[in-house]
Chains A and B, each alone.
Chain A
Amino acid sequence: MFDASKLTNLLPLKMRSQTDAYLEALGVFLEIRDPRVLASLAPSGVRGLLLKRGKQGIPTQIKCSHTAYFDWTYPNDHPEMRELYTRAKAGQWDGATYLPWKTDVDPENPNTLILPQSFLGVERLEDYNVRLDDKEKHALTNSVATWMLSQFLHGEQGALFAAAQVTEAVQFFDGKLYGATQVIDEGRHIEVFHRYLDEKLNKLYQVNDNLFVIIDALISDSRWDMKFLGMQIMVEGLALGAFGTLYKLTKEPLLKVLLKMVIQDEARHVHYGVLALRDHINKELDESERREREDWAFEVSLLMRNRFMLYEVYEEWFEGRMPRDKWREFVTNSPGMREFRQVMFSRLVPNLRAIGLMTPRILPHYERVGLMQYFGGDAADKLSGEQLISDLDRAA
């Protein structure tokens, strides 16, 4: 006989999940105080959070409207960027031959764990009345690692397109030359993350809605410096934080060397963002324009801090077993995510300060949300990829 109680028990919890998702999305918009920032982020928010354009199972088409900037006199206009270009050329590596792809990646092997169980603190799930056996705990941790790597891959696709756009739009000719190397870097990163997921983990998570919102916003924004700010400072900063966290924790040798190589490239990318934006923001923007960017950076910082909640893993594992808001609480307080926020903001905040988007006007807001603790540290133009790696190795 048909058991109606099963259905009714199921529906409200799923519906409750959805309501939570909508309220959360609404919260993102309500938190934005600058109307110009709201106007620039809201359409992307609707496309990503509400319409889930990144998950519809078809390629996403995003309209672009930036201006390509040609200079037929080929000036040597930025020695620091020229220097970065030279270093980037020398730092090229071939993802197919440089990495030890024959490594047998066994996610079950305790000596070569992709991610330790302590990252998520799986035992705390019992506080939420969820009991997992050892095998399930292990599999859940691997799901989280695969989720992270999937989001890295999706982020790199955004980075590839943004790097190409920025190369067209940037007004320094030396920057264009450097930009060409970043385009190939991002292509290579897609190659290696994709191959790792395909060949070694056989799984790919859909693009996270919040990541989609950020990518959509900066790809569709017509202003080149917003693309720079979004991609070179915010997303690359986020990537450095995420890559760094995983690099420190993983015991899987192929992934370790893959991340090491990617981090060294990313360090150059953030450095480029700092160089290009420092002069532009301080010399060419008026105060109102500068304030808009300062607010935008703050909002995106929040989006990044609060919103990467592994919901795709929740949907795969726990939807219908625990409420979505409890999962959020669990993830927010997991040791790995705390670590991730620490590494990410300790890199991001100094960079925002270096490009002039961290004036006393905005500081109380950072203070209010608890981000002031990251104010020390060197900006990317003072940090090399080797330094980043040795910092991470020391901390591991």
Chain B
Amino acid sequence: MLPAVTRVPLPASLLQRLVRAVPQALTRKIKDLRRDLAVLTGAFAGNHPAPVTVRTRRTPPSSSLVATRHVRVKSVVHDTADALCVELEDPTGAPFSFVPGQFFTVVLPLEGETLRRAYSASSACQSPATVRITVKRVAGGKVSNYIVDSLKEGAFLELLGPSGNFVVAPNPSARRSLVLIAGGSGITPMMSILQSVLPVEPETQITLLYGNRGEDDIIFRNALAELAAGEPRFVLRHVLSNPPDGWNGAAGVLDEATTSRELALLGDLPETTEYYVCGPQPMMDAARAALRSRGVDPEKIHEERFSSPHLRPAAHKLTTSQPLTVRCGARETITTVGPDQTLLEAGLAAGAAMNFSCTLGGCAACKVKVVSGEVAMEEPNCLSSDERNEGFVLACVARANSPVVVEVP
């Protein structure tokens, strides 16, 4: 017996699409025709399209969030035996736009791996033709020690950023009181703030409390003295834990007691005073405790935490790949995150539109919300406790322990 012949109807959706497609194609043709006719009739009236358009710099600057910037070392100068000031310039002449207090990420291929380290700009933001970073030797620090020992003038570096919210934007009409508390290389963002803000804010008062071991360890010693000379708006207090004979500054480690004592010496400060703290972790904890016990509003305390990645406890070693879904608006990218990859690396590799800047857990540009799944982050990082409670993670230092779905805010 012959099989029955059945007519298969076209699926409704296909039919609908066909019906829709015809008028769309026609509409396009009609639009084209109208435009062509407008050109012809315009021509008879003696009109034609404008021959020239004005352009105002639409080329994107070479610095962007998606690619490293290729910069040249213009000069290297030792400020102390262990600290090197590196002045960088862009071979294209593009300026370095940053807000005082922000940092750049140096991306360095070293011994077969790509290492990333954050260094604050230590120069004034008003001379953007170059930017200066200041790097201090760290026991066991691969990148810092490479830079201090081996980086030469004329060498090239790859840079990301600027990043970070630990900033003081210069504002000539501002009339404010700032207290900067720095330990060791934590002086670098403070130096940029001082140099950028003091000359343009004639009404602003700044105090710097700066802790070091010995006199020879003070970075920017001469530059700070010059800034302070004859400038009543800038109060400079050095605190040395190992002061030389005849030292007339403060002595001691910047622990809670010393910091409290030094703060008390400043007398009554306006309630609007903002406090900026950057240095080794114990010093920062002590400063926070001292400020809180003086009744300073936590909102007025700004902290910049840098940790040395080689000392950072790694999120526990993973051995398996996990599925990863990145939602960005209506678009969903589905991929796999390998055991050696961060969520950011896997997402970008799959073409997801994820933002990033420092790639070190220091700026929160890559913040994503975990919709489902278990994620482990390298600590410490800059995520606030509110952000953690809301389910955010930093994709650049986050790894997947289970299948993960994240949402780009």
Contacts and interface: CB of A to CB of B under 8 A. Distances in A.
Interface of A: 10-11, 14-15, 17-18, 21, 50-53, 55-58, 96-97, 99-103, 146, 194-195, 197-199, 201-206, 311-313, 315-316
Contacts of B35: 56, 58
A10 B44 CA distance: 13
Contacts of A146: 52
Contact of B46 (A18, A57, A58, A199): A18
A101 B91 CA distance: 8
A198 B58 contact: yes
Nearest first, the 5 closest Cβ-Cβ pairs linking A and B are A102-B93, A14-B46, A312-B51, A55-B49, A315-B51
Given A52-B39, A56-B39, A101-B92, A195 B59 contact: yes
Interface string B35-61: 110011001101111111111111100
Contacts of A14: 46-47
A17 B54 contact: no
Interface of B: 35-36, 39-40, 43-44, 46-59, 62, 70, 91-94
Contact of A51 (B40, B54, B70): B40
Nearest to A196: B59
Secondary structure of the A contact surface, majority rule = helix
A205 B55 contact: no
B151 to A, nearest CB: 19
A53 to B, nearest CB: 8
Contact of B59 (A102, A194, A201, A206): A194
A56 B59 contact: no
A101 B46 contact: no
Nearest to B72: A97
A316 B51 contact: yes
Contacts of B43: 18, 21
Contacts of A56: 35, 39, 49
B62 A52 contact: no
B94 A101 contact: yes
Q: Which of B40, B44, B57, B92 has the most CB of A within 10 A?
A: B92
B230 to A, nearest CB: 36
A11 B46 contact: yes
Nearest to A50: B40
B46 A17 contact: yes
A15 B43 CA distance: 8
B92 A51 contact: no
16 contacts: A14-B47, A18-B46, A50-B40, A56-B35, A56-B49, A58-B35, A96-B62, A101-B92, A194-B59, A195-B59, A197-B55, A199-B59, A203-B55, A204-B55, A206-B51, A313-B51
A146 B53 CA distance: 11
B46 A203 contact: no
Contacts of A97: 70, 91-92
A311 B48 CA distance: 12
Given A97-B91, A198-B59, A203 B39 contact: no
A111 B124 CA distance: 35
Secondary structure of the B contact surface, majority rule = loop
Contact of A203 (B54, B59, B91, B93): B54
A206 B49 CA distance: 9
A150 to B, nearest CB: 8
Nearest to A317: B51
Contacts of A201: 55
Contacts of A21: 43
Nearest to B50: A206
B92 to A, nearest CB: 4
A17 B46 CA distance: 8
B48 A315 contact: yes
Contacts of B56: 198, 202
Given A97-B92, A202-B55, A57 B40 contact: no
A204 B53 contact: yes
A204 B91 CA distance: 26
Contacts of B92: 96-97, 99, 101-102
Contacts of B46: 10-11, 14-15, 17-18
B52 A312 contact: yes
A309 B40 CA distance: 21
A56 B37 CA distance: 11
Contacts of A205: 51-52
B408 to A, nearest CB: 28
Contact of B93 (A11, A58, A101, A197): A101
Contacts of A58: 35
Nearest to A98: B91
Contacts of A204: 52-53, 55
A14 B47 CA distance: 8
Nearest to B47: A14
Nearest to A102: B93
A201 to B, nearest CB: 8
A197 B39 CA distance: 27
A195 B58 CA distance: 8
A192 to B, nearest CB: 10
Nearest to A94: B70
A21 to B, nearest CB: 8
A17 B42 CA distance: 13
A50 B58 CA distance: 31
Nearest to A101: B92
B64 to A, nearest CB: 11
A261 to B, nearest CB: 14
A52 B48 contact: yes
B34 to A, nearest CB: 11
B49 A57 contact: yes
A195 B62 CA distance: 11
Given A101-B93, A198-B57, A204-B55, A51 B39 contact: yes
Given A202-B54, A203-B52, A204-B53, A100 B93 contact: yes
A113 B59 CA distance: 24
Contact of B55 (A198, A206, A316): A198
Contacts of B57: 198-199, 202
Q: Which of B35, B46, B49, B57 has the most CB of A within 10 A?
A: B46
A316 B52 contact: yes
Contacts of A99: 92
A183 to B, nearest CB: 20
B95 to A, nearest CB: 9
Contacts of A51: 36, 39-40
Contacts of A15: 44, 46
B315 to A, nearest CB: 36
A51 B49 CA distance: 11
A82 to B, nearest CB: 31
B81 to A, nearest CB: 34
Contacts of A50: 40
Contacts of B39: 51-52, 55-56
Contacts of B44: 15, 18
Contacts of B55: 197-198, 201-204
B96 to A, nearest CB: 13
